[in-house]
Structure 1
Amino acid sequence: MKEMRTSLTSSERKEKTKKLYITPKTAPYYFLAPSVILLVIFTLYPVISSFILSFQSMKGSEKYFVGMANYTKLLRDPIFYKSLNNTFQILIIQVPIMLSIAVVIAVGLNSALLRFKGFFRTVFFLPAITALVAASIVFMVILDDNYGLANYVLSLAGIDPINWLSHPFWAKMSIIAVMTWRWTGYNMVIFLAGLQTISPDLYEASEIDGAGPIKQFFYITLPQLKPVFIFTVVMSTIGTLQLFDEAYILTGGGPNNATMTITLYLYETGFKNFNFGYASAMAYVLVIIIAVISWVQMKIVGDSE
């Protein structure tokens, strides 16, 4: 009887413990715990660790503190300035072209006169979900200096072949073309969603006042799409400043660093030269650049409030 009583007391104690820790108020935290733990391990910890690493350097397998040396080294690094200049050149040319094409395609696909809308929307969006490596290999074949399809078409028109991937200017233009091909459809879908929120009454009223399609586009469509433009400009800018895949696969940063981007230089510094402290400093400088540019864009094109 004494043993039985002890067992019952132990069971009661466990039940009280369960009631104490698992209640309707605490239960949600138990469900959130796995996600929070993964976020801390795979996001928060690497961010903090890389920030600390940016103030360190490595000698063999040992780390030692160097203060601001990695950051001051960036100020004297000509390749860093070259990669920064290349990235901004691509940004200034590619983003306006891509967004202009995207908004025109979106307006066309939103037209009530167009048939098979679903088919055309899918066709234009497909590049965004195409495997980048496969697409880049196809473009390497198309843009090959000797046997590429692009130069073959030019030869039919009597134009001399172009060194698409081995000439500094044309290599940049090739990367811009591939990026535009890949991301125009993605932005088109965003603009299309914005167009479908514009009230048809605005267009009907403008038609009564005698406005044609061109005036409707500039005085109704574009102003109504302002929030969408802000979003796409900021996101496209961030994406271009992080440009890596296209430059890495198509040109490897060449010729003569003509297509070297910030993230590609960061990758080579960290994973080829194993200078992880310097690469981390570069990464945080890039974060600051992205934050400042995004803030400036929001102030320039955003609402005054």
Structure 2
Amino acid sequence: MNIRSRTNIISWSFVSIAIVMISIFYFYPMIDALILSFKAGLGNNLNFVGFDNYKRLFTDSTFRVALANTSIYLIVQVPLMIALSMIISVLLNDRNLKFKGFFRTAIFLPAVTSLVAYSVVFKALFSPDGLINTLLVKLHLVNAPIQWLTDPFWAKVTIILAITWRWTGYNMIFYLSALQNIDHSIYEAARIDGASAVKQFTKITIPLLKPIILFTSITSTIGTLQLFDEVVNITKGGPGNATTTLSHYIYNLSFKYTPDFGYAATVSYAIVILIVIFSIIQFRVGGDRKDG
């Protein structure tokens, strides 16, 4: 056996461990869940029913409500968070700004806090007698406390504020890293030519950040479509199902209602399909177009 063959064997022996682990803990559950989505029954007493579960999606009112709620979070929160992340990163990239390290750390810190812990804090802040309502009433901005957690509209606003607070700093890091790789002389040349700060942002910063915008948009979309912790811990999906998401509905189907693992797997693959669709759209809209 020559050295090259021996090296290949040793290399594959290391890679094979990862392949086996990924196959067991990633690919096998995905395939098993797909098979499970074609079955129905109570508990583990499941029978093959073909596409009945997928047909059920179109007549399931709770699924439609959960899909609508998730879509609202996606349409409102993701663009808001991406815009805030870019603006904050531009401000923190200013060479003349003092205490940049402190501000960057402070804004990023929410991303490393416990999902449950920060959700409980938000629930306390937005409770009827919480700090937010107390401040709003004392400042005479409202006449009575806002029902942040029990009103369908304000409950959605609370969830959007919570996930925006947590993930804006996380996305900011990507934009900040990209901005630091942009030659500062480009901005100096633009200023000499009389370009305003807004024009520099729209004509220089955004085009140069296009790959990062695409990346953060896709990852944020995936995260929002899988939104679970905040809804469960802040509003418990209420009032009624006003804030229930698809992931929360999957949990309810599996553990809260009479266990229906087959249909829960079907809803899970509905999320997969949505992620694929939105990712393709974002690649089409934000990807580089090369003429053939």
Instruction: Provide the TM-score with structure 1 as the length reference.
Output: 0.90
Structure 2 partner of 1:157: 139
SS of residue matched to 1:256: coil
Aligned counterparts, 1:1-305, within 5 A = 23-59=6-42, 61-145=44-128, 147-158=129-140, 159=142, 160-272=144-256, 273-305=258-290
> Structure 1: how far apart are the matches of 2:34 and 2:18?
23
32-41 vs 118-127, which moves further: 32-41
> Structure 2: how far apart are the matches of 1:78 and 1:104?
39
RMSD: 1.6
SS of residue matched to 1:64: strand
> Structure 1: how far apart are the matches of 2:276 and 2:43?
34
Asked whether the equivalents of residues 43 and 259 of structure 2 are also in contact (C-alpha less than 8 Å), the reply is no
> Structure 1: how far apart are the matches of 2:124 and 2:43?
42
Amino acid at match of 1:256: G
> Structure 1: how far apart are the matches of 2:42 and 2:98?
65
Structure 2 residue ranges without an equivalent (≥5):
none
How far is the alpha carbon of 1:48 from its aligned partner? 0.9
> Structure 2: how far apart are the matches of 1:126 and 1:103?
17
SS of residue matched to 1:210: coil
Amino acid at match of 1:151: N
Moved over 6 A (4+): none
Amino acid at match of 1:85: A
How far is the alpha carbon of 1:59 from its aligned partner? 4.4
Structure 1 residue ranges without an equivalent (≥5):
1-15
> Structure 2: how far apart are the matches of 1:189 and 1:25?
38
How far is the alpha carbon of 1:288 from its aligned partner? 0.8
> Structure 2: how far apart are the matches of 1:213 and 1:238?
32
Amino acid at match of 1:88: S
Amino acid at match of 2:70: T
SS of residue matched to 1:26: helix
How far is the alpha carbon of 1:60 from its aligned partner? 5.4
Matched residues, percent identical?
Answer: 46
162-171 vs 210-219, which moves further: 210-219
Instruction: Provide the TM-score with structure 2 as the length reference.
Output: 0.94
Asked whether the equivalents of residues 43 and 261 of structure 2 are also in contact (C-alpha less than 8 Å), the reply is no
